[in-house]
Amino acid sequence: MKILICSKLFYPSNAIGAVRPTNFAKYLTLLNHNIVVVTEEEFVYQEYKLNGTEFFRIPNSTIIQRFKKLVREKKSTESKNARSIEKKCNKLGVDSSTFRWRLDLTNFYKKSRRQIFSLIIELDWLLNSKRLLRKRFSKYHFDVVISSYGPISSLLLGYSILRLKLARYWISDLRDNLINEDNPFWMNLLYRKIGRQIIKYAHSITLVSYGQKAMFERVHKVKASINNKIAVVSNGFEGNVAKVQAKYNDGVLRIAYTGQLYSGKRDLTLLFHVIDDLVEEMKVDVSRIRFIYAGPNGEELKEQVKNFKNVESACEDLGSVSRQEAFELQNRSDLLVALTWNTIMEQGILTGKVYEYLKAYKPIIALTSGDLPNGELTNMVENLRLGIACEYLSYNEDYKRLRDFLILQYYNLIEGRINDYSPNIDRLEGYKYENIVNILNKIIEKVVKV
């Protein structure tokens, strides 16, 4: 079967969003499909080589490439200006919340402007891609086109390929839901309209979790008569589960988190609260416990840890690292932290990092913020016996549970005892991408009616 994959994010991009479409291409090829990938040019320093796979790496227009550079520089300057305002207020002893309405209005304007800039960049790439593919391929050249969202240009390209009749069927793969509470209202209105087009024209819609599926159906008011074309194809991991914990015991308990913090929506403060109290009560030695962060949100990390003075000296910020460096950090660590949120508007948010942790075979501390209980990450950790799952809605109860868990892990380490970590291996194996893509392949066969 001839399959076109539209994904602006693809190997060797360091973005977590590149992992899913890259593995789709790899394992669909191994299932003897003829795969063509349309992606962007920006990240190419090493080509992805796989027999039977053809690539079209399409750049933005020259003027837009200059525009992108300007946007990055502007975003960096705005971030520095925002931090400068906070520092000046602190120095003068003025509560920055006094100016909150002005800051909120300014932030809304800047955020909307950045979103508009991003849409211009995405639409330019979409037009360049459509132009090339129309020249290169004839009518119904592909049996199926699979689009990967985000960014939005990948999704719209899949829709365009179907409407141009270059492919017979369209599978819209949504790594994230279109509507979210961080978008400006005008953007959610636009995405709601796009969602209606997906429901109308896509032959199958795949999402990464049951919470995301339920949210998509609710937000877009999906009729019961068509919800059978909406399926869950979870994220996964590459390779095999380690099955044995790597030993790096130098008497220091290392707790690592790799990923973004999304302006505090991913919240570490429960963990910091527990560590801070344990150090204060001399239950643990601060020199023998270390929290290591790898990601782009160092300023947000400082904001979350600033009220826990006993923890500050135990924190290490590595900044952004490559995926290989993130893997190495996970293997060196004793505990891995997974963060998400579960709200009335957004459920089922399971980052691809969670699945990387499965492969690392290390106990997981899952922390879920938000206003809804029993999040999907909590259920996953508990059902697979991955470690401990805590939610901010049950703060006092989960504080005690996490405290007991950390004390046990700490003394197991310094006394050389083996951790009692026994996840459900059979269920973990189901999250290998080769197994995940088998599920996708069945959806493809159902759509094409092979």
Assess whether 210 and 191 both reside in one domain.
yes
Whole-model pTM: value is 0.83
CATH of the domain at 327: 3.40.50.2000
DSSP-derived letter for residue 432 is B
Is residue 268 domain-shared with residue 140, that is, in the same domain? no
- What are the C-alpha distances in Å from 149 to residues 180, 342, 353, 416, 434? 14, 21, 17, 46, 21
Would you tell me how many other CB atoms lie within 10 Å of the CB of residue 243? 9
Q: Within this chain, do residues 387 and 439 fall inside the same structural domain, yes or no? A: no
106 part of a folded domain: no
Instruction: Please tell me whether residues 232 and 342 are part of one structural domain.
Output: no
Residues 395 and 287 in one domain: yes
Same domain, 231 and 266: no
Q: Does 288 fall in a domain?
A: yes
* Count of structural domains, the chain: 2
Residues 269 and 382 in one domain: yes
* Residue type, position 35, single letter: I
Residue 87 lies in a domain: no
Instruction: List the domain range (segments joined by +) for residue 34.
Output: 2-61+125-236+432-448
Do residues 265 and 204 both lie within one domain? no
Considering the domain boundaries, does residue 76 fall inside one? no
Select from 341, 387, 344, 347 the least CA-distant residue to 367.
341
Query: For residues 140 and 162, is the Cβ–Cβ distance under 8 A?
Result: no
232 and 274 in a single domain? The answer is: no
> Using CA atoms, how far apart are residues 319 and 295, in angstroms rounded to an integer?
5
Spatial neighbors of 374 by CB under 8 A, at least 6 apart, are 342, 391
56 within some domain: yes
DSSP letter, residue 393: G
Query: Per this entry, what is the length of the chain?
Result: 450
Does residue 114 lie in a domain region?
no
What pLDDT, on the 0 to 100 scale, is given for residue 186? 84
Q: State the burial class of residue 374 (Cβ atoms within 10 Å of its Cβ: 0-12, 13-18, 19+).
A: middle
Contact 112, 118 (CB under 8 A): no
Dihedrals φ, ψ of 370, to 5°? 115, 180
Please give the pLDDT value at position 12.
81
Question: What is the reported pLDDT for 406?
Answer: 96
Residue 10 and residue 420 in contact, taking contact as beta carbons nearer than 8 Å: no
pLDDT value, residue 322: 86
Q: What is the mean pLDDT of each run of 10 residues along the chain (450 residues)?
A: 95 84 94 94 64 86 78 53 53 54 60 79 93 93 94 95 96 90 83 93 95 90 86 90 65 92 90 96 94 94 93 93 88 93 87 85 94 92 95 96 96 84 88 95 90
Spatial distance between the Cα atoms of 206 and 212, rounded to a whole number of angstroms: 10
- Res 284: pLDDT: 94
Whether 150 and 228 share a structural domain: yes
b/e per residue 10-20 (b: at least 16 CB within 10 A): bbebeebbbbb
CA distance 301 to 308: 12
Looking at residue 129, its pLDDT comes to 95
Backbone phi, psi, residue 170, to 5°? -125, 125
Asked if residues 120 and 114 have their Cβ atoms less than 8 Å apart, the reply is no
Asked if residue 352 belongs to a domain, the reply is yes
Statement to judge: residues 35 and 132 lie in one domain? yes
